[in-house]
């Protein structure tokens, strides 16, 4: 009898140890997933992998986006240095949080956040295994990147409404071949390299506030897929030369509905311009708006500063 009880206790202990190991493995995977794309994390967690081996992958067609809030720092220039850093970081974190939630929606599964650089958000399309659903050499994922860029303008407009700020978003898009890889041992970072990355960055830096600038080759891809443009001019791009560039201004209702962008807007808490919605949808939107207002709300001191600045300009 004593031996039977002892075996039973050992089995219980073994079960608990297995559960503990599984929980630890899941925890480690989530930590790794937070810093690396899912398919890259699975590469490192796979069986018989040499973890000292560098991960790299060449891609022939990748879309790249740089989205910058060009006047983010200037909106806090009236505060002292310490207070300026605290307030700006808090609001920037909320903005990045909303963009992360947007890009994490299932409809944007072909997109991947690369990194943030100050108040610039970098993302790419065509890197994930989800692109296998598209025909070979398809550029359909570029449409989703363009839709994301248009939605980001909606996100910043929403931030401005609830924070009392006047942030200006400037976005640059481009596409082409890149090499993706992980660098670093103690703090690994997933990144992409290539001429297309530099071009997208230049499309951002040479653009105007509240615009989405694209080169002619991307314009030629998107113009036949329901997107609307305005020709800018021939733009001098450092390290590349002179290029014809265009401003992405919007898309047709059909193009947006085809990929579920109206539902993506609803998920942001703002109802689409057309269509009927249930009472639950309306209530959900109001709750979302209330939450965003609380997260973005400005202090009384900030409101007074902006009101005084506005009055002085008018006078």
Catalytic residue positions, numbered: 202, 238
Alpha carbons 174 and 62: distance in angstroms, whole number:
8
Q: Residue 214 pairs with which residues in a beta bridge?
A: 246
Residue 269's SS3 state is coil
- Residue 259 has what DSSP assignment? T
DSSP β-ladder status, 189-193 and 169-183: antiparallel
Quote the Cα angle for 45-48-52, to 5°.
70
**235 strand-pairing partners:** 243
Positive or negative: CA dihedral 30, 63, 257, 253: positive
| Nearest to 64, CA basis, from 190, 199, 198, 173 | 173
Decide: 256 and 147 in contact? Cβ < 8 Å: yes
CA dist., res. 87 & res. 73, Å (int): 11
Token pair belonging to 141: 């994922």
Q: d(Cα 41, Cα 284) in Å, to the nearest integer?
A: 34
Return the sign of the alpha-carbon dihedral for residues 118, 34, 102, 266.
negative
Alpha-carbon gap, residue 214 to 67, rounded angstroms: 12
């Amino acid at each position: 009898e004593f031996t039977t009880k002892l075996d039973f206790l050992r089995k219980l202990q073994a079960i608990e140890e297995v559960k503990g190991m599984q929980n630890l493995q899941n925890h480690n995977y989530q930590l790794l997933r937070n810093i690396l794309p899912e398919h890259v994390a699975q590469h490192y967690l796979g069986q018989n992998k040499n973890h000292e081996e560098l991960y790299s992958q060449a891609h022939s067609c990748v879309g790249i986006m740089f989205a910058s809030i060009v006047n983010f720092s200037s909106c806090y220039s009236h505060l002292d240095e310490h207070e300026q850093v605290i307030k700006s970081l808090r609001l920037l974190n909320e903005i990045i949080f909303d963009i992360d939630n947007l890009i994490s929606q299932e409809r944007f599964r072909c997109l991947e956040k690369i990194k943030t650089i100050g108040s610039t958000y970098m993302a790419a399309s065509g890197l994930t295994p989800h692109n296998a659903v598209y025909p070979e050499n398809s550029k359909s994922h570029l449409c989703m990147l363009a839709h994301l860029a248009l939605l980001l303008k909606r996100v910043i407009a929403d931030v401005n409404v609830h924070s009392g700020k006047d942030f200006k978003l400037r976005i640059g898009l481009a596409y082409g071949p890149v090499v993706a890889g992980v660098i670093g041992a103690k703090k690994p970072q997933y990144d992409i390299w290539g001429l297309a990355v530099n071009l997208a960055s230049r499309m951002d830096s040479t653009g105007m506030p509240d615009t989405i600038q694209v080169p002619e080759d991307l314009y030629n891809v998107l113009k036949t897929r329901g997107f609307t443009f305005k020709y800018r001019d021939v733009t001098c791009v450092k390290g590349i030369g002179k290029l014809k560039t265009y401003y992405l201004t919007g898309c047709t209702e059909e193009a947006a509905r085809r990929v579920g962008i109206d539902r993506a807007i609803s998920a942001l808490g703002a109802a689409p311009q057309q269509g009927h919605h249930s009472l639950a949808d309306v209530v959900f939107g109001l709750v979302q708006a209330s939450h965003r207002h609380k997260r973005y709300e400005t202090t009384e001191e900030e409101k007074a500063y902006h009101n005084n600045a506005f009055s002085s300009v008018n006078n």
